[in-house]
Structure 1
Amino acid sequence: MSRKSLSGTVALYYVLLIVYFAVIAYPLLWMLINSFRESGEIFGNSWGLPKTWLFSNYATAWHSGISDYFLNSVFVTAIVCLLVVFLSALGAFGISRFEFKGKSLLLILCLGGLMLSPQVSLIPLYKLIQALGLHNTHWALILPYAAYRIPLSLLLVRSFFLSVPKEFEEAAYMDGSSTFGIFMRIFIPLSVPILFTVVILTAYFAWNEFMFAIVFIDSERLKTIPAGLMQFRDMLQTDWGVLLAGLMISALPVIVLFLSMQRFFIRGLAAGGVKG
């Protein structure tokens, strides 16, 4: 390929990326701008800049209930991420570094977990949660969220662990380290990029999940942001400026998390695809 055609191809890629960015970023930018308006101005002129920037919309949204939903989402998401990271890493370590009967079957079950849609299991899962006495508690969200994220996370971490040289383990065993010590002191530090990738994927799912949040939680005090915003609209008689401010508050943590961990995310995806 000549230098001229290569430059043309690169320019085309940049144009496509800019168009893709515009398509993705425009709704967010529109929501940000209109979160500073009053409802009448949104319907009258939603394309221009606000005449008066109503920063008070954010204070109103926060004190009208978003704060409780926000803290509930933070709690649920944090616990889910901790469970998924620890259990996936522990399971991946056992599957990738040890030989035992049923290992292939266990991997097949993990792949099966990727094909199971949450919507399909809603009714039996609801009955199970009621039977366990977990309905209308945060654990009714935490346990299903973790269960649905573990299969993919385990396979990603396992792929990375397969690339770790056996010599590291042998040297640690010679120094008197236990198996769990090797896991905590060697594999966990080496796998920071892939673990951050798991955190981002899990947090995105847990923070934005809506179906389980409205079915398994009835108490207004325990609702997370996706379910709470639905009630939030009715409570405020559809004050669209304040509602959009609430949406911006709900979107900000995920955006900040991805931007702050972007380099780990890219490295983790690359590392997780080293071996199958």
Structure 2
Amino acid sequence: MVSRIGFLGVIARVFLWVFLLGLAVVVVYPLLWMVLNGFKTNSQLFGNPFALPVDWSFENYRKAWNRGVSDYLTTSVLVTVTSTVATVFVSAWAAYGLTRVKIPFSGFITGTILGGLMLAPSVALVPLVKMFQAMGLYNSFWALLILYTAFRVPFTTFLIRAYMLDLPREVDEAAEMDGCGRWTAFWHIILPMCKPIITSTVLLHILFAWNEYLFAMIFTSGSGVQTLPVGLMSLMSKHGTEFPVVFAGMTIAAIPVMLLFFFGQRYIVKGMADGIGK
């Protein structure tokens, strides 16, 4: 009986490893194929798209960079960083008020904020376009900053609030006895205690803002304010016959977020597990 259980355990482990290896191939191979095709010429790409490049030249990457990818990358970095700071700060401050401060109608306010999770961005596109055009913010950096912040605050607040709910109340009492105000207690005590969930929300928002396409396509039409997803589509329409250049631009766009996710995935999982678990 024991040997039978041991044999079944070995079989199960083999199937698990086969499944994981197959999943890794499905995920990694398209990325590797994209990177390798950035080194080819059009004739090599269409002649044998699955072969290795003949000449490992970075010419296609240089062309992609000079044809606008550098500007798109700068805009994406600027929008991503500013919207991340704004979203996490507003959400953390809101979560602190909802969990650590006694305010009237706190339950209603919490429900209203979390109700934003049910609002699909596509539903509000028409009134948002009209509103931003009337305010003179259409086709500007500020439009994306406001939209990315507003539509991510409910989700980020939900995660940080869930984490703060389980923090000991004695910390607030000790801070009050030491003469700390609300801002001091929040900035120097509560926020450092929320480092795991703050790290997770920062990484999650970066992944969202870096890859967001709908708002970036509709609310930016000038080349000076286009982010990478929209800029790469523009690059494809202008230079669609040079597919290796397009693949090179896609690789440049993917590298930062891939590195970020690779080095930060354990923080995402840990922060999400702690936040939802609490």
- TM superposition score normalised by structure 1: 0.94
Matched residue, 1:86: 89
1:173-188 equivalences under 5 Å are 173-188=176-191
Equivalent residue for 1:47, pick from 50, 65, 76: 50
Superposed CA deviations along residues 141-195 of structure 1, whole A, max 9, x for unmatched, are: 1111111111111010011111211111111211111111111111211212211
Q: RMSD of aligned C-alpha atoms?
A: 1.7
> Separation in 2 of the partners of 1:92 and 1:4?
51
Residue type at the aligned position of 1:210: Y
Kept in 1: contact 2:91–2:153 (CA 8 A): yes
Gap change, CA 1:38 and 1:195, over 3 Å in 2: same
Change (3 A) 1:191 1:219: same
Give the unaligned 5+ runs of structure 1.
none
For residues 216-254 of structure 1, the C-alpha deviation after alignment (integer angstroms, 9 at most, x for no partner) is 112111111111112212332431111100001111111
* The one of 96, 104, 107 aligned to 1:104: 107
Q: Label 1:183 to 1:9 Cα distance change in 2 as closer, same or farther (>3 A).
A: farther
SS at match of 1:77: helix
Answer yes or no: is 1:233 the counterpart of 2:248: no
**How far did 1:35 drift?**
1.0
Structure 2 segments unaligned to the other structure (5+ residues): none
Change (3 A) 1:32 1:165: same
Do structure 1's residue 25 and structure 2's residue 46 form an aligned pair? no
State yes or no: 1:117 paired with 2:120: yes
Q: 1:210 offset after TM fit, Å? A: 1.3
> Relative to 1, partners in 2 of residues 1:49 and 1:95: Cα closer, same or farther, differing over 3 Å?
same
- Say which structure is richer in helix: 2
Moved more, 106-115 or 189-198: 106-115
Mapped partners of 1:68, 1:166: distance in 2 = 48
Moved more, 26-35 or 6-15: 6-15
Cα deviation, residue 28, structure 1:
0.7
Q: TM-score, normalised by structure 2?
A: 0.93
Whether the 8 Å contact between 1:38 and 1:54 is mirrored in structure 2 is no
Residue of structure 2 in register with 1:213 after alignment: 216
Q: CA shift at 1:63, angstroms? A: 1.2
TM-superposed deviation, 1:260: 2.2
CA distance in 2, matches of 1:75, 1:178: 33
8 Å CA contact 2:80, 2:206 repeated in 1: yes
2:76–2:210 CA contact under 8 A, matched in 1: yes
Q: State the number of aligned residues.
A: 275
Change (3 A) 1:17 1:127: same
Contact persistence 1:39–1:241 (CA under 8 A): yes
Name the % identity. Answer: 39
Distance 2:96 2:15 in 1: 43
Q: Deviations over 1:101-126 (max 9, x none)?
A: 22222222233211111111111111
Q: Residue 160 of structure 1: which of 160, 163, 183 is its match? A: 163
